[in-house]
Amino acid sequence: MKRIILILITLGALTSQKPVMIITGTVTDETGANLPGVNVIEKGTSNGITTDLNGKYSLTVTGSQSILVFSFIGLQTQEVKINNRQQINVQMTADVESLEEVVVTGYGTKNRVKSLAKSITQAVSGRVAGVAFESDSYQSYPPSVVITESLDLDMNDEDYAGIEENTFQKPMENPLSTFSIDVDAASYSNVRRFLNNGRIPPKDAIRIEEMINYFSYDYPQPKGEDPFSITTNYMKAPWNKDHLLVQVGLQGEKIAEDNLPAFNLVFLVDVSGSMSSPNKLPLLKQSLKMLTNKMRNEDKVAIVVYAGAAGVVLEPTSGDNKQKIIDALDNLNAGGSTAGGAGIKLAYKLAKEHFVKDGNNRVILATDGDFNVGASSNEAMEDLIEEKRKDGIFLTVLGYGMGNYKDSKMEILADKGNGNYAYIDNLREAQKVLINEFGGTLFTIAKDVKIQVEFNPAQVQAYRLIGYENRKLAAEDFNNDKKDAGELGAGHTVTALYEIVPVGVKSDFVGNIDPLKYQKQIKEQIAPAGNSNELLTVKFRYKKPDEDKSKLITKTLKLNDQVKTDQNIQWAASVAGFGMLLRDSDYAQDMTYSQVLELAKSAKGEDEYGYRSEFIQLVSLADNVVQ
């Protein structure tokens, strides 16, 4: 009898749990044309996604009775109850009243949503809201309306810094590999955006180190006075079993949110005309609202905007007055040109005026990077940010949108401003960056972190750093404390991979040169190293956030170390292989998407937020896209 009761109780508990469902569908307009860029959100949560170029979406929800909210600028918001359905198609209609408040600026050239543009053209009668505000400090700009027949769907005007993939180096000629750490993850979410829209991303948009570092790894927490731990390991390279893959991992100290110092944040928001698309300013505002809800009473938030001019929309406001901050965000609308340089100067000025000693002073720039007024060149923006970082104010850059997206500028701003850079393509990504990784994104525990690896020529015939092409430093930069490098946030992990050709292995990637006439390679020169089983030595330098003198740490990896081919290195290897395939890299050799999938599935491990499961689905999608 007790067993029957226990079974009934267990069944009752199981049936009371909300099932997890995947809902798919297509969103169209009144004419039946597919609508890209529609926000699809599970009501009452931050769980959401946007429709792809074909108007399709796929969203995992928490229950069969959940409600989906479909929203898009200029169209009536719809709420649809799931009612155990797994496919929900929605047709959206124009919202004339809301269209009267919209500024629409398009940069695409293809006529993809003509019916929507027609509705906008009919509805807008010259009334334009640039930015609604109460502060007298905001300098207004002349109202203007630009109507187009398309949204920012073309990728032709996107800008990425060129990447020349790292090649193999010989330790006898180049014994040192030196680079700055990189905790940015913008490339991965941007690559995901391209693939979800049925496109292979441009090669220069694929930064493999950022794809690897999108994921956290199970490295041990630091012990002692240093704010991070160091892990090294190696395995056979999955794309070439004769080569070795070496992993260097950092784990930043995790700090409880209650123990974080007071925040002095300035939201620097781009409200220019290029931000009018639904995956730009509307998504940006939702993202910053999520962050606002994390603020404590001791934290302060200010808002600076820029378009044709820059101004303060919200003076520093305590975190206990969240509604005031949210109301200020709700009042932002897009219109005008882009005075990015003026906005950056004003935001740093405000942050400096309200500087919190021993606190977290930071500017959060949210933009598509399309600066076209004032300091607009990469060099000018770089000089401006380098000057401002001297005030001890860090920078976080949040990128939004497609079509005219300027990744190259965003990356430079973050790199030169002692900060980090994330690309936000949906609310789920906003939640990852600003909520789940709150401390890592917004609180720096070590700055100017550099890595220098010395390879033993008696064991290593050649080596290649995978990724980090735009983070490489000269060997002498390692000991130069004036040389800027990357920052590490609380709880963040950083992973770097080297592919190594062991001595005695024949490889097509290791070239030969004729014997030198004036220099001789004498065996005795490397005999001492030859007696060692050391594979390499890793050196680290870092500074505390408020100090200018670096500290040195070293760690050696030996070939006879007990190597544990764990899920950390296997997962990193799968992501690296995926990145090389997307780049059509010669170094991928015979690697296939199927092999990447197999390796990723075997190394998935714990997946609290589902990021690794999403990666596995993305690999399958990419395999279909390239066919």
Q: Do 343 and 354 belong together in one domain?
A: yes
The whole-number pLDDT of residue 525 equals 53
| β-bridge mates for residue 449, sequence order | 486
Amino acid at 112: R
Q: Do 396 and 453 belong together in one domain?
A: no
| β-bridge mates for residue 148, sequence order | none
Q: Do 493 and 559 belong together in one domain?
A: yes
Best CA proximity match to 308, nearest among 135, 132, 138, 126: 138
Q: Do 470 and 607 belong together in one domain?
A: yes
Q: Do 598 and 535 belong together in one domain?
A: yes
Q: Do 474 and 396 belong together in one domain?
A: no
How many other β-carbons are positioned within 10 Å of the β-carbon of residue 79?
11
113 belongs to a structural domain: no
Q: Do 460 and 579 belong together in one domain?
A: yes
The whole-number pLDDT of residue 141 equals 29
Looking at residue 487, which CATH number applies to its domain? Answer: 2.60.40.1230
Q: Do 264 and 355 belong together in one domain?
A: yes
pLDDT digits (tens, 9 = 90+) for 576-608: 999 999 999 999 998 999 999 999 999 999 998
Calculate mean pLDDT across residues 317-327. Answer: 96
Looking at residue 393, which CATH number applies to its domain? Answer: 3.40.50.410
Three-state secondary structure call for residue 224: coil
Confidence category of residue 483, pLDDT binned at 50, 70, 90: very high
User: Among residues 62, 91, 120, which one ends one of the domains?
Assistant: 91
pLDDT digits (tens, 9 = 90+) for 125-149: 222 233 433 333 333 322 222 323 3
Helix, strand, coil shares of the chain as percentages rounded to 5?
30, 25, 45
362 belongs to a structural domain: yes
433 belongs to a structural domain: no
Residue 162 to residue 563: CA distance in whole angstroms: 36
Q: How far is CA 137 from CA 255, 279, 303, 311, 328, in A?
A: 37, 28, 12, 6, 14
Q: Do 369 and 451 belong together in one domain?
A: no
Q: For the chain, what is the radius of gyration of the CA atoms?
A: 26
Best CA proximity match to 363, nearest among 422, 312, 303: 303
495 belongs to a structural domain: yes
Range of the domain at 389: 257-424
User: Among residues 91, 106, 137, which one ends one of the domains?
Assistant: 91
The whole-number pLDDT of residue 156 equals 62
Q: Do 312 and 225 belong together in one domain?
A: no
pLDDT digits (tens, 9 = 90+) for 340-376: 778 888 999 999 999 999 999 999 999 998 765 455 5
Q: Where are the alpha helices (DSSP H) in 197-273?
A: 208-212
Looking at residue 29, which CATH number applies to its domain? Answer: 2.60.40.4130
Q: Do 251 and 264 belong together in one domain?
A: no
User: Among residues 378, 394, 424, which one ends one of the domains?
Assistant: 424
Q: How far is CA 153 from CA 7, 568, 613, in A?
A: 55, 37, 27
159 belongs to a structural domain: no
State pTM to two decimals.
0.77
* Cβ partners under 8 Å of residue 453, min gap 6: 176, 177, 178, 248, 463, 498, 536, 537, 538, 539
Q: Where are the alpha helices (DSSP H) in 306-399?
A: 322-330, 340-353, 378-388
Quote the number of domains for the chain.
3
Best CA proximity match to 429, nearest among 471, 463, 398, 406: 398
Q: Do 363 and 499 belong together in one domain?
A: no
**CA 17 centroid distance within chain:** 33
